[in-house]
Amino acid sequence: MTTTEAAIAVGTRVHLYRTAVRILAFDETYRSAMLSGKVGGMYYPARGQEFAAASVAAHLEQRDYVVTTYRGVHDQIAKGAPLRELWAEYMGKVTGSCHGKGGPMHVSSPAHGLMVTTGVVGSGLPIANGLALASKLRRTGQVTVVNFGDGASNIGAFHESLNLASLWQLPVVFVCQNNRWAEYTPYGAGTSVANVAERAASYSMPGVTVDGNDPIALYCAAGEAIDRARRGDGPTLLEAMTFRFFGHYFGDQGEYIPEAEYSAALAADPIPRYRERLLADGSATAQELDEIEQAARQEVDDAAAWAFEQPLPPVSELTTHVYSEEIL
């Protein structure tokens, strides 16, 4: 498996960009729809964190498992959740991935390996261990990736999960997308170590901090961790440094983020920066990248148009899927 940056194929490099712009197109279009009132509800944008999802998911097969959080649209798209059903689910439509009963915080698309999205910080880690345990017991070679934020590294479930994964040598990769802010609280006010990855040592697993906005660096680090899990050598705590541009939830002005920090992050927006890099190193032409961007926008526009036409669930759906049988 590739661990050196230079050895990454052009096709892979461009694929990372394609995934990121598909996520960007979805996020931009959805935010725009929120602003114009065409969609309502809560939305937790992942703008700025696209590569944290894309560079990890690029190593995963459809049968591998992903667990993510309410700020998970990038992980959901990167794992292959179909955009039409995703947009419809975000709008609560009956033909959404989850019949409109979960919404953005609870999207599942198990056919694509997207098993759980959780709205409770840190709760995905124990569940990821279970998915990994099943793979191990059944000897399938599947890997589980669980995504969470820096804030989640302080909740008990994080610590229990890392301990257990290490003890049982589970095929799981713990991906901490450290965007420096846990809701309105800066990293330093919540976490007693300088880097989340330092905590790996307490649980006898490798801990790696990487620039999550450098698609290639993250791709390499993720590849090592996923390979390690797949060959049975156990879990890794992978900390991908990143930033979120739209606050905690869409509408949050982010007034608690120091201006200098915010401007610096905007100036270092990973997507245009990577586009420049691909052009500069000859991985792609401007026309190719334009076509990728255009295709992404078209795919999202199609998904949105389709989803807007879909109905909300009928009231009869309130009482279905509580149990396996039609009982309450």
Partner 1 sequence: MTVATDSRVMLMTEAIHDALDVALGMDPDVFELGEDIQDPKGGGFGIHKGLEAKYGSERVRLTPISEQAIMGAAIGAAIAGMRPVAEIMLMNFIAVAADQLYNHAAKLRYMSGGVTPVPLTVRTTTGAGMGFGAQHSDMLEAQLVHTPGLKVVVPSTAADAKGLLLSCIFDDDPCVMIEMNALYFAVQDEVPSGDYRVPLGSARIAREGTDLTLITYGRQVLDCLAVAEQLVGEGISVEVLDLRSLQPLDTDAIFASVAKTRRAVVVHEAVTRGGFGAELSALIHNELFNELAGPVARVGGANTPIPYASSLEQAFLPGSHIESAVRALLA
- Chain contacts with partner 1 (rule: CB under 8 A): 65, 67, 96-102, 106, 108-111, 115-116, 118, 120, 123, 125-135, 137-138, 144, 156-157, 160-161, 163-164, 167, 320-324, 327-328
DSSP states of 244-261: -TT-SSTT---TTS-HHH
CB of 115 to partner 1, least distance (A): 6
Residue placing its CB nearer to partner 1 in the complex, 174 or 246: 174
Minimum Å gap between C-beta 143 and partner 1 is 13
- DSSP one-letter string for 71-123: S-HHHHHHHT--HHHHHHHHTT-TTSTTTTSS-GGG--BGGGTEEEEESSTTT
Q: Which C-beta is closer to partner 1: that of 123 or that of 242?
A: 123
| CB of 116 vs partner 1, minimal distance in Å | 7
Q: How far is the CB of 324 from partner 1 (least distance, A)?
A: 4
Which lies closer to partner 1 via its Cβ, residue 199 or residue 275?
A: 199
Q: How far is the CB of 100 from partner 1 (least distance, A)?
A: 7
> How far apart are CB 13 and partner 1 at their closest, in Å?
33
Compare residues 203 and 243 and give the one whose CB is closer to partner 1.
Answer: 203
Residue 157 or 196 with smaller CB distance to partner 1? 157
The residue ranges of DSSP E strands in the chain, in sequence order, are 65-69, 114-118, 144-149, 172-178, 181-182, 185-186, 207-211, 236-241
Q: Are 26 and 76 within 8 A, CB to CB?
A: no
Kindly report the three-state secondary structure assignment for every residue of 265-284: HHHCCHHHHHHHHHHHCCCC
Q: Which is nearer to partner 1, 99 or 273 (CB)?
A: 99
CA dist., res. 90 & res. 104, Å (int): 5
Q: How far apart are CA 80 and CA 64, in angstroms?
A: 11
